[in-house]
Chains A and B, each alone.
Chain A
């Protein structure tokens, strides 16, 4: 059996500032309103760190803490799986700019913040956690790649996993090579046994043939350019409390299929 259970969700995007709003939008109860801005506030971090951490870390931790709030579990007890196509593009840009010509001075803080696992690193500091964590990338398939890692952890180790996916637009000129047109962060808490408040049961498999994630038609096309936002059709099935088979873009000429079943 490759089923995991969804305990809670955190979402962050313009128009989808939190899970309660996203749930209404994805179920059709409320129209998408891009004017509602996303305001990542990583309260988990000490106040002096909050402003200093990279933007991607702020987004990832904000989504993560929403999923943890009301989950009935301590932040220090979950294993974080972080997935992102490109990490923090602003940092990549600044580093490449800094080393392009003499004097080639790199900021030490910028450098240590450049690691792809900065978000789980800061999370462990803020949460006082010694749990292992991992950071992955799968380009356009980053969400499914993270989901497979999270599912493996849940199934093989009975771990309680906080899967966090986040991608932000690249600055110019990298944006010309890789257009991510909207910012998006999501966190889902996954467990091996259904708790009383479980939001759904996800049976995850890798299937033959390349299929792409199908984005809900009510959402702006720009979100579809964000690898982390491939979580949206899964969340839509949860929001509608409906059984569904959700294909996700994957690698190797195949796709990931998630059989979503409501927990009642």
Chain B
């Protein structure tokens, strides 16, 4: 594929608001996980929470969209000069030629959870303030982002569990190639809710401590919330910066919530991304793993990495910092990959006491500082949905 330049990107995640705060936390090895303090949540787990959402409703002109998830989306859009960059793109291409593709796993279900708590005792009716279309609906977040940015191009929500916002990049790249748009706002937003906290709890996948991807004694995930966005444009001659060089997708075809043990699906997605970029495994300098911190996920992904890269490539997961932001993991880690490429940083895994001794991949614990050409980001979701993104520095 022709590379697409990431002309701007923005993040709001538990490490802080914006790219600078995120980079600073990565460099200082300051994780953001904290003991769960979300109302009604199960005890004995840790979460990554974005501060201040309770006090920041969505813009008055879009008040019907007000819910935790869209507040988080708005907070993400307000970081790193992103709104302004999109306004320029809108002026350059026309509002009809800028697409909006947003990944989410649960959209505004938290709004619906609260509505169910306030059902009428006699009729069972939901309270009048509940609006399905503007919160619960998976499309609500893409709809909100499109309206907030004043865009009129193609729009879609992608919801493939924890690969959602990685797959938004693939979808946008295809849409540009097919000619349906000239630029795309891609992103992902997922916010804390009881559904995911209790749901992952029921599967016994929640860690009792801050998650420890790649550690010998890892015992599950820490759920986080985040919003992130990137503006993708076709490459003009002489463009500098970071580009989406390739993407790859596959299905496990194995089980709805357990990874295929040998990582066959993840391997196919990574290979597909390399093929689309036209580069070899040796060209990749760092793999930002999906690395959720569950015993089975990390093991399966590690197998896939070793099968493709051997033990040469540096790999780590940044979920020990942010927690697993589910449908926003793809975009959050894409922004981290952009920061890594710009700064020449390989962040080591956080919270690792002893790397899993059965791993043969080169898992990085201590951060490394060096020039990076290409970095890969893996996202793996329920339903056996795999997506690998490849980012590269433009000369």
A pairs with B: yes
Interface residues of A (CB under 8 A from B): 2, 76, 85-87, 92, 95-101, 104-108, 111-118, 120-122, 124-125, 127-139, 141-142, 145, 148-149, 151-153, 155-157, 172-174, 176-178, 206, 208, 251-254
Cβ-defined contact, A130 with B268, below 8 A: yes
Q: Which of B81-89, B297-305, B362-370, B378-386 contacts A (4 or more CB under 8 A)?
A: B378-386
Q: Which residues of A contact B154 (CB under 8 A)?
A: 148, 206, 251-252
B:145-200 near A, CB below 8 Å: 146, 151-161, 167, 170-171, 173-175, 177-180, 194-195, 198-200
Q: Which chain A residues border B381 with CB–CB below 8 Å?
A: 115, 117
When A and B form their complex, which 4 residue pairs have the shortest distance between CB atoms, in order from nearest?
A121-B383, A132-B249, A111-B199, A116-B159
Check B195 against A99 for contact (C-beta < 8 Å). Answer: yes
Nearest B-chain residue to A178, judged by Cβ: B132
Contact call A97/B178, Cβ cutoff below 8 A: no
B96 CB–A CB distance under 8 Å:
yes
Shortest distance between the CB of B140 and any CB in chain A (Å): 8
Looking at B105, B138, B146, B387, which has the most chain A CB atoms within 10 Å of its CB? B138
List residues of chain A with CB within 8 A of the CB of B123. Answer: 173
Check A111 against B203 for contact (C-beta < 8 Å).
Answer: yes
Inside 8 A of B171's CB, which chain A residues have their CB?
134, 149, 152
Q: Which residue of A lies closest to B147 (CB)?
A: A252
13 more A-B residue pairs beyond the given contacts A115-B105, A115-B256, with a C-beta to C-beta distance below 8 A: A87-B138, A96-B113, A105-B198, A114-B199, A116-B138, A116-B160, A121-B385, A129-B251, A135-B159, A157-B174, A174-B132, A252-B146, A254-B152
| B109 contacts A92, C-beta separation under 8 Å | yes
Chain A CB within 8 A of B287 CB: no
Asked whether A125 lies within 8 Å of B160 as measured between CB atoms, the reply is: no
> Which one of B109, B160, B173 lies within 8 Å of A135 (CB-CB)?
B160
Find out whether the CB atom of A124 lies under 8 angstroms from the CB atom of B203: no
Instruction: Quote the shortest CB–CB distance from B117 to chain A (angstroms).
Output: 5
Residues of A within 8 A of B113 (CB): 96, 99-100
Chain A residues lying within 8 Å of B174, measured Cβ to Cβ, are: 149, 152-153, 155-157
CB distance from A167 to the nearest CB of B (A): 12
Could you tell me the distance between the alpha carbons of A137 and B107 in the complex, rounded to whole angstroms?
11
The answer to whether the Cβ of B359 comes within 8 Å of any Cβ in the partner chain is: no
Find A114's partner among B146, B195, B250, B269 (CB 8 Å cutoff). Answer: B195
Task: List chain B residues, Cβ under 8 A from A125.
Answer: 253-256, 384
What chain B residues lie within 8 Å of A251 (beta carbons)? 143, 146, 154-155
Q: Is B125 an interface residue (CB 8 A)?
A: yes
Assess A96 versus B253: contact at CB under 8 Å? Given A2-B178, A106-B195, A111-B199.
no
Q: A251 CB to closest chain B CB, in angstroms?
A: 5
In Å, the complex CA distance between A134 and B383 comes to 10
Query: What CA separation (Å) do A145 and B382 show in the bound complex?
Result: 22
CB-CB nearest in chain B for A99: B194
List of B residues within 8 angstroms of A139 by Cβ: 133, 137, 139-140, 143
Contacts of A100 in B (CB 8 A): 113, 116-117, 119
The count of chain B contact residues (Cβ–Cβ below 8 Å) is: 78
Contact of A108 among B117, B155, B179, B202 (CB under 8 A): B202
State whether A120 touches B383 (Cβ < 8 A).
Answer: yes
Q: Which chain A residue lies CB-closest to B153?
A: A252
Q: Cβ of B157 and Cβ of A112 under 8 Å apart?
A: no
Min CB–CB distance B41 → chain A (angstroms): 9
| A130→B253 contact, CB < 8 A | yes
Seen from chain B, the residues whose Cβ lies within 8 Å of a Cβ on chain A are: 40, 42, 96, 105, 109, 112-113, 115-117, 119, 123-126, 130-133, 136-140, 142-143, 146, 151-161, 167, 170-171, 173-175, 177-180, 194-195, 198-203, 248-257, 264-265, 268-269, 272, 381-387
Residue of B nearest to A107 (CB): B202
Choice from B178, B251, B253 contacting A155 with Cβ under 8 Å: B178
User: B202 to A106, Cβ gap below 8 A?
Assistant: yes
In the assembled complex, how far is the CB of residue B301 from the closest CB belonging to chain A, in whole angstroms? 16
Q: List residues of chain A with CB within 8 A of the CB of B383.
A: 115, 117-118, 120-121, 124, 135
- Of B160, B180, B201, the contact of A134 (CB 8 Å cutoff): B160
* Chain B residues whose CB sits within 8 angstroms of the CB of A112 once the complex forms: 199, 203, 256-257, 382
Question: Does B152 lie within 8 Å of A252, measured CB to CB?
Answer: yes
Closest Cβ–Cβ distance, residue B57 to chain A (whole Å): 21
Distance to closest chain B CB from A66 (angstroms): 21
Chain B hits for A145, CB < 8 A: 139, 155-156
Q: List residues of chain B with CB within 8 A of the CB of A120.
A: 160, 251, 383, 385
CA distance A113 to B142 in the complex (A): 23
Q: Across the interface, which residues of A come within 8 angstroms of B382, CB to CB?
A: 112, 115, 117, 121
8 contacts between A and B (CB under 8 A): A85-B139, A87-B159, A118-B383, A130-B253, A130-B268, A148-B180, A174-B112, A252-B152
Q: Do A156 and B253 have beta carbons less than 8 Å apart?
A: no
- Partner among B116, B159, B250, B264 whose Cβ is within 8 Å of the Cβ of A132: B250
Q: Are B203 and A121 in contact (CB under 8 A)?
A: no
